[in-house]
Amino acid sequence: MPEGRGRIICTDTQETILATTIRPRRLNHMNLVLENAARGLQHMQDTFDAEPVADVPGAAYHAFLFAIGGALFEAFVPGVWLLTARYGPHFVGVEYQADMDIVVQAVAERNMRIVRESRYEKDLAGNPGYALHTHPEDGFGVSYEFYHDDFHTWNWPALGGRIKPVEAWASHPFGHTGQKGYTHAVADIDAASAFLQGFLAAEPIYEEDRPLIAGRAIGLRIADIIVELQTPTGDGVLARHLYRYGDGVRTAVFGVKNIDRAARYLSDRGLAAIPGGKAGTIAIPAEANLGVIFEFEE
């Protein structure tokens, strides 16, 4: 099969046809919606010693980028919070580095709607570029953003250089080992898995029960991270999350050297960790972390 091609099924005729598959090179960053830019950045700095990477104020929204343990996040604060208040803070999506010609073709073939496009004469690194965001309803609740370049290799003016790689965090008391991936809550886990295998060349690597959250999980490798699809099997925190928010990214997942050490670090900062989605993991609940959940595992 040619590079960049996959297979989808036309449900009306059961005819197998070729469709373009995106093969991301890496996760550039996660995108989240927060209520207040200054308070959001301060919390991330106070809690995780986050690096303030870039500040992009605007009339429609105020965006800012920060890095934790080598992982990059872009936060968007809407200009009018009333329009977002009912849904609240959340992970709106993710950005992958990918070939943009293939991205445009793959998105068009699937009739995915584009909710935002950015064409740059000069991007934040001073280079020309093009990015697009897909509609969350066309991606099982996730807005997929794509860009051709790797943000981790840029020289960021606010930093006076590059984002610190995860190796540079080795001596940090939290014990970062980088971002492992994220969890993605869905009502139809098999359909979501098939979609990601065809759209983003996702490779299934495990299927497990998640009794702590009354769920079932399918782990998918996409580029340099693991995306864990999760669906409820009964009443629990996962079912309540899905009922409240619908399909979409549920948590960011970080690796740490030692889970007890990480829990002590959080406790020293007044944050009581709760059990994560599986045995041996911990999490910062949404109410203690600006409305979004961070998980940690060895």
* pLDDT value, residue 7: 43
Question: Is the pLDDT reported for residue 16 higher than 80?
Answer: no
Number of domains in the chain: 2
Residues 146 and 192 in one domain: no
Parent domain of 127: 26-153
Where does 49-188 have alpha helices with state H? 82-85, 100-109
pLDDT single digits (tens) 232-280? 999 999 999 999 999 999 999 999 999 999 999 999 999 999 999 999 9
Question: Is the pLDDT reported for residue 3 higher than 60?
Answer: no
Burial class of residue 283 (count of CB atoms within 10 Å of its CB; 0-12, 13-18, 19+): buried
- 159 located within any domain: no
pLDDT single digits (tens) 86-111? 999 999 999 999 999 999 999 999 99
pLDDT single digits (tens) 215-236? 999 999 999 999 999 999 999 9
Task: Show which of 121, 153, 185 is a domain's final residue.
Answer: 153
Residues 285 and 255 in one domain: yes
Question: Is the pLDDT reported for residue 41 higher than 90?
Answer: yes
User: Does residue 4 come out as left (phi exceeding 0), alpha (psi in the -120 to 50 range) or beta?
Assistant: left
Nearest to 248 by CA among 11, 9, 33: 33
Give the number of other Cβ atoms within 10 Å of residue 161's Cβ. Answer: 10
User: Where residue 18 falls among pLDDT bands split at 50, 70, 90?
Assistant: low
> 89, 34 in Cβ contact below 8 A?
yes
Residues 149 and 171 in one domain: no
User: Where residue 4 falls among pLDDT bands split at 50, 70, 90?
Assistant: very low
Residues 147 and 268 in one domain: no
Which backbone phi and psi does 125 adopt, to 5 degrees?
-100, 0
Which backbone phi and psi does 130 adopt, to 5 degrees?
-145, 130
Residues 199 and 244 in one domain: yes
Higher pLDDT, 287 or 124: 287
Burial class of residue 63 (count of CB atoms within 10 Å of its CB; 0-12, 13-18, 19+): middle
Supply the DSSP symbol for 77. E
User: pTM of the entire structure?
Assistant: 0.92
Nearest to 271 by CA among 284, 281, 280, 261: 284
Question: Is the pLDDT reported for residue 17 higher than 90?
Answer: no
